[in-house]
Structure 1
């Protein structure tokens, strides 16, 4: 896609935000504060993934008329974690994290409202319910913390194979579910058509005036433009300088290739595989809930377009650690439409316990999926302290997509100095938390070998036929 691409029309609507009475952080009192902006000020977004697209949409809905988005890949970016067939969506109560705090609850409630009511996002949300389960003593202890049932009538506790099999039509969940115990949330949770929702948000942003430059050297940012101690835009691979009054760095796992984050970001990858069903199977498997064992992995109903079930093996992630001559440690992301054979084995083990009839089926698709972990798994959304015209929207930490409808609001609020102090404290630029960072830290994640792996240790990869996953 390039700046001349014509998206299909979409319906515009506003997303409501929660009312917060606390005083915001006022960057305009800082002696290095950037110059004021107006609706016509040039604004530049680096990255057309989930957070960059959400930022573009919120800027456009807020009346900014001169917004440009740059990305080296066609839309949606093939390296974006959001470019996926589906993602788990919840109101927050059944979150994957056990330490929900103000910013997550705020964004989660706002996003869930949009998934249910905003015309841009509503068509892509499926309220199928979600089973969260575990099968070891440690896993069950973690599950009890993460789900927090508390007598909720929406939650059904399950512990027998027949109970698990009863979550789908007869013949779908045929496995023995060995040692499984869990909780089934009947509603208020499900999945979203991730790639389609991301494209719909981009279409709406473009309809409202945002210019996307992507998929060519014109969209590949090679460096930020530093002038007078501030960031004044970016340079792309074709040599063009894109000047801006504000620059938003929303480049996901690639963000630290453009800026020194002082070890605050660690690109981390997960693994995805698809299995294609025949037409009769697709009808039978349709509308099954999301099945998620926090030790084994998770899977969804087949997508309508290709009739494929997506399966992910659960683990703390992969890195690609490199050491520079000056002793700097980095995890460097790369694009690959395959997964390690060890990951394939974990996927098939999950299927053997749940849907053994699919356990030996060939994969129709596979890829690694990158995100960027902060040292405490909180988002990093802030003005850069030394370059105040640079707004950071980074550190999704493996849980950023469900906030597609709302995360851009927080990033734009950051630009407008409207972020409440209690929220800013959580998401601020803070290199101190990354001092002497443990690059193998699981960050509380669980599953698989219960350790962070590295692609340098992978000996064998799958050989699945590759495909183009850009929509436009």
Structure 2
């Protein structure tokens, strides 16, 4: 019997699907258990499923739940990374998977709004981004101030020397994208279970996991993609190498009938000015014009952090909004969100083997820019797990993650 999307998502939100419960007795245990149904875990589970493995995806609360780094409304997808070509390649590779996932959905998962990046000066980052994107045959324009004022008169371009427009990219609808991916993963033979996993224990090899409910889950391979909880599952291995920060997002309501801040008149955008980086989205799906400060916030515990925004942060965003987008100077605040980044020391992602267990992978440290890379992360993790002798790529290795928070990758 074929289940509707509503029925599948409903089953995931309440109890494990019947197939995912059959891991004892005569039923074969999964080849691989992936812990964490955020963007990294869900795509890793899907990429492993495509290799023919029997894969079970496990999450304590649900796919891209409200406290997950993959939850919330929207994420930018872009390819500009200065001279960090690997991330540009991953963004381009991942975009094709996101577009396929979005195809034929009732509501789009990807909005091809474009991404416009403002610069107040020439820099290695800007030049490297432009050259790399052009080399990858991505439709990228360098736009000078006069043309910026003509095309986007709703923006005050004071202090901007030039901008780069990434025409192929835009916005991903975060929670909806991950929920849709998990639903398709289950439809295509994967299994899903809601369970809280305790910190793993094992000898030379990891053979099983224990849940908070007293269950034992067996598999031959394990992937841990637990976002800000990765350090809690592995306090000695990860511990002080993971920096979880509070991030605040604000949505403002344009005036009734004002289309200047919606697609197609407005792209997604990033504003590099001085030491500050602001970013945001057009009014997607009538939720409001999104603005956020990309500065790393206070360190938080994902289990106890109350999701309340700070008045000082709102004042800073309002001051910026009135200067850069004057038509929204007095726009009422329609919604706020608090999420978190789970940062590595320098912003590089983590895709590496557990130092004790060769059959276990650690995947995470999205560092505020990782969501867009979900499909490429999943492919890299699956490839590493498929090849026991293979080593992780240097930038993704655990050994390169320090205990000092010093962000480099944007």
Does TM-score exceed 0.5, indicating one fold? Answer: yes
User: How far is the alpha carbon of 1:356 from its aligned partner?
Assistant: 2.6
User: How far is the alpha carbon of 1:62 from its aligned partner?
Assistant: 2.3
Does structure 1 residue 204 correspond to structure 2 residue 184? yes
Contact 2:44–2:381, Cα closer than 8 Å, also in 1: yes
Change over 3 Å in CA distance of 1:200–1:348 after alignment to 2? same
Does structure 1 residue 426 correspond to structure 2 residue 360? no
Query: What is the distance in 1 between the residues matched to 2:351 and 2:166?
Result: 33
1:303 counterpart (272, 284, 289) = 284
Contact 1:297–1:312, Cα closer than 8 Å, also in 2: yes
Aligned to 2:252: 275
2:213 counterpart (227, 231, 238) = 238
1:410 counterpart (354, 376, 380) = 380
Query: What is the distance in 2 between the residues matched to 1:41 and 1:150?
Result: 41
2:115 counterpart (130, 137, 140) = 130
Query: What is the distance in 2 between the residues matched to 1:402 and 1:292?
Result: 15
Counterpart mapping for 1:370-385 below 5 A: 370-385=340-355
Structure with the bigger percentage of helix: 2
Contact 2:114–2:165, Cα closer than 8 Å, also in 1: yes
Query: What is the distance in 1 between the residues matched to 2:261 and 2:239?
Result: 50
User: How far is the alpha carbon of 1:352 from its aligned partner?
Assistant: 0.8
Equivalent residue pairs, number? 377
Query: Structure 1: 5+ residue runs without aligned partners?
Result: 9-38, 322-330, 446-472
Contact 2:64–2:175, Cα closer than 8 Å, also in 1: yes
Aligned to 1:320: 299
1:99 counterpart (66, 79, 83) = 83
Contact 2:255–2:331, Cα closer than 8 Å, also in 1: no
Q: CA RMSD in A?
A: 3.2
Q: Deviations over 1:187-234 (max 9, x none)?
A: 1222222222212111111112223233xxxx222322x233333333
Q: Deviations over 1:359-379 (max 9, x none)?
A: 333322222222322223222
Change over 3 Å in CA distance of 1:429–1:151 after alignment to 2? closer
Counterpart mapping for 1:148-227 below 5 A: 148=130, 154-160=140-146, 163-168=147-152, 173=154, 175-185=155-165, 187-214=167-194, 219-224=195-200, 226-227=201-202
Secondary structure class of the residue paired with 2:206 = strand
Query: Structure 2: 5+ residue runs without aligned partners?
Result: 1-5, 11-27
2:408 counterpart (443, 447, 450) = 443
Change over 3 Å in CA distance of 1:262–1:143 after alignment to 2? same
Contact 1:381–1:427, Cα closer than 8 Å, also in 2: yes
Counterpart mapping for 1:451-470 below 5 A: none
Contact 1:124–1:196, Cα closer than 8 Å, also in 2: yes
Does structure 1 residue 264 correspond to structure 2 residue 241? yes
Does structure 1 residue 354 correspond to structure 2 residue 339? no
Query: What is the distance in 2 between the residues matched to 1:253 and 1:302?
Result: 29
Question: What's the TM-score, normalizing by structure 2?
Answer: 0.80
Aligned to 1:292: 270
Change over 3 Å in CA distance of 1:210–1:124 after alignment to 2? same
Secondary structure class of the residue paired with 2:283 = coil
Change over 3 Å in CA distance of 1:129–1:166 after alignment to 2? farther
Secondary structure class of the residue paired with 2:207 = strand
Question: What's the TM-score, normalizing by structure 1?
Answer: 0.71
